[in-house]
Structure 1
Amino acid sequence: MTSLQHSNVGFVGPYGSANLGDYGILINDIYDLHCNHITVFSYNYNWPKVQLDAYCTEIQVDYCVVQVKENYFFDGAIYKYSEDAILNGCRNLDEVIRYVKAIDVLIISGGGWINSFWAYRTEKIAKIATIIYLAKSLNKPIRFMTQGLGPLGEFAEWYKSLFEGVNATVPVRDKQSLVVANRELKLSAKWCPDDLLIPNQRWDNFKSVLAPIETPYVLIEPFVPMENLKNNADMIGYFSRMFYEWYGCRLFYMPFDLVHFGNEQAQYCSSLSAYADYYDISSDLFPKFEDVLALINGADFVITGRYHGLVLALSCAIPVIHIVNDICGEYGANKAYSIVEWCFANGRGSLFCAGSLLDAFVKLETQYKTIRAE
């Protein structure tokens, strides 16, 4: 996409948490488009303002938080709400309209929210849809950054209606998304790698101030429910001790989010052994991109259940074990498969797959010595 440095560029997507993948995509898109003035439509007062304040200090940033009427979206299925009903549910509609009128183009980013998995987050989807409906009605150009699409399931017709009339090609990051775009959404599409597979060079302006880790370490992103971790606490502690005794290697836990399978999990896992540590994001409130890259680049191995943990490990050419869990179902499997296929075709990194954290530890045991020798 061409530079938009002289435009007021609107961005809409799932911007409402500390998640590294979500805010990383947004800021990377802002950098890629050479934006000087942006308007971010969010569904949360704090996010992504905290991250944009850190990484976009030279850019004029306007914020518009879409608010909905209390208890309005009581039904868990977004397809039960028409365009008029969704707009009627916006509590600050006049304010939102003013912000949409002021933009020159709307960018739909965010990675992977166009699916049945996300569609049950009714209020959040309604807030995103409000901006898209208004941009269409005001004849604002609409463009997509790289998306993961589907599965849509029972929400296919609703999503098709949402994007009806949008004259833009959708860059998609997996082959299944090509099918979803063409057959279900009736949109033209082309395959592109994930936005963070080749991070914009402007990220290099931010240097990690974390103290170097002196001993070899395996970096683990714990995208695992707490109940699962507690049920396997003894084995997690055992593997930590074993790797240190056998290889002099510590386990270092790195959260990608503050609360959603994030800092609590990392802190808990590190507490199970004297040979484990974790990256505490409780004071910064989000994982800093430069810190995450520094930790990945310094690791002997990465274990992750998150898609963008996989993407960044492969981007840094660090051996990685990807936990293919059932938290995100088919949606998660599709996007992971595509990035793996691309990296193998382009000779990037070494990849192994596991079905759980304990399974990942077993695979790590069999592969670690070989990887270290290389």
Structure 2
Amino acid sequence: MGQIKKIIKNIIPNSAQKKLRIINSKYSKVKLNKTFDPIISELKSTKNQKRIILIGTAIYGNIGDHAISIAGTKFIKKEFPNVNLIEIPISLYEYKSDIINRNINQHDLIIINGGGYLGTLWETGQEISNSIIINNPNNRIIIFPQTMYYKEDSENLIKEHKKIIADHPNVSLIVRDKKSYDFVSEKEFEFKKVILTPDIVTYIDGNKYKNNKNKIIFVLRKDHEKVDYKKDIEELKSHFIELGYEEDDFEYTDSVVEGYYNLYNRDALVEEYLKMIGQASFVISDRLHGMILAAICGIPVIALDNVSNKVYGAYEWFSSFDYVLYFKDKNIYQKIDEINESKSSYNYDSSKFANKHQEIKKLVELEYNDLKI
């Protein structure tokens, strides 16, 4: 198969190859969406019931976003075991938003999946959030833990997004970092309620995946959120070599893989990734969930920030965890040495965030209980 791909690559012009990739991508999405027909059937058959509709869960190959989707559904199912939850993956909403919106009633509580897409970093996520809010003007809506970030000179876009919120009386927002929380206040977004909690993935306990194999795992971005840490990475590598690690002990990865995943096969994807992370002595990451997934496994992790500062925003929640470090901390190398020398086994304690998880529960409970059939 590899040889066939090479031959095709050599004989077909780049422009044609690009068109073929687009066609294949569209075909794969359409084919995959057929597997979601039962969701549409359930949405229609339970239309007269009181429900929570979770919209926008991941289908692409971002493992961190799948962890968000898993944590969000786990949270709702555990905290509200008697509630009828229907999950709408993001591409299903993109392709069938008309059908979905027609089958949502006023007694449905809509929860928009968490992530880092509010603002200008990831336009598709913001557009889908806008669509859900605009097309469901009579529903109570909660946006699960988010980062909000706008690039410079985005005042017109901020104004547009503010109006969408102002025109809907029942949209509440959960933000996962103080910078976003302050931004919402500073720009005077008129959300019904705004609360500050850590990322929803902190609800997951990953201690069982810890299986140290003396590896240094680098989880590094390749997209437009990346900051140039090339020099810093080389310094870190040199320091670990001084501590006795060898070049073969370094492993490089990203938390993005090829292909489409969904609520039917995502658990295995995330579990395999957690097992890989669990083999590390240290994880170094500029991805928010590179840091968080290491932290919930009790693996020492060094966080590097990204362009929107969301990694640092998440690190602030973990700053009291001895094994979670921020690269720009004072005495960072001394802290690395202390962890390395201690050979301690760390355990993630999710109870440290229990009061914040309860704030999310109270908000969902308040909105859901006020719904009338």
Whether the TM-score (by the shorter chain) exceeds 0.5 is yes
Q: Report deviation, 1:167.
A: 2.5
2:135 corresponding residue in structure 1: 134
1:104 corresponding residue in structure 2: 108
Superposed CA deviations along residues 134-154 of structure 1, whole A, max 9, x for unmatched, are 222xx1221232121233733
1:190 corresponding residue in structure 2: 195
- What is the total number of aligned residue pairs between the two structures? 274
Distance 1:26 1:7 in 2: 22
1:100 counterpart SS class: coil
1:143 corresponding residue in structure 2: 142
1:351 corresponding residue in structure 2: 325
Query: For residues 307 and 135 of structure 1, do their structure 2 counterparts lie closer, same or farther at Cα, with a shift above 3 Å needed?
Result: same
Distance 1:319 1:310 in 2: 9
2:87 counterpart SS class: strand
Distance 1:102 1:18 in 2: 33
Which structure: greater helix fraction? Answer: 2
Distance 2:287 2:132 in 1: 28
Residues 3-42 of structure 1: matches in 2 within 5 Å?
7-13=50-56, 15-34=58-77, 37-42=84-89
Unaligned runs of 5+ in 1: 1-5, 45-63, 68-91, 261-283, 355-362
Distance 1:11 1:106 in 2: 6
Q: Is contact 1:10-1:104 (8 Å) kept?
A: yes
2:339 corresponding residue in structure 1: 371
Q: Is contact 1:303-1:321 (8 Å) kept?
A: yes
2:93 corresponding residue in structure 1: 65
Distance 2:325 2:244 in 1: 23
Q: Is contact 1:132-1:162 (8 Å) kept?
A: yes
Q: Is contact 1:219-1:299 (8 Å) kept?
A: yes
Partner amino acid, structure 1, of 2:142 = R
Q: Does 1:118 align with 2:86?
A: no
The structure showing larger relative contact order (alpha-carbon pairs under 8 Å, at least 6 residues apart) is 2
Distance 2:326 2:186 in 1: 32
1:162 corresponding residue in structure 2: 164
Runs (4+) of structure 1 exceeding 6 A deviation are 284-287
Q: Does 1:315 align with 2:299?
A: no
Residues 257-336 of structure 1: matches in 2 within 5 Å?
257-259=256-258, 288-325=269-306, 329=307, 331=308, 333=309, 335-336=310-311
Identity of aligned residues (%): 22
Question: How high is the TM-score relative to the length of structure 2?
Answer: 0.60
Q: Does 1:337 align with 2:336?
A: no
Q: Is contact 1:319-1:349 (8 Å) kept?
A: yes
1:51 corresponding residue in structure 2: none
Partner amino acid, structure 1, of 2:220 = P
Question: How high is the TM-score relative to the length of structure 1?
Answer: 0.60
Comparing 9-18 with 184-193, greater Cα deviation is found at 9-18
Q: Is contact 1:258-1:285 (8 Å) kept?
A: no
* RMSD (CA atoms): 4.2
Q: Report deviation, 1:338.
A: 2.3
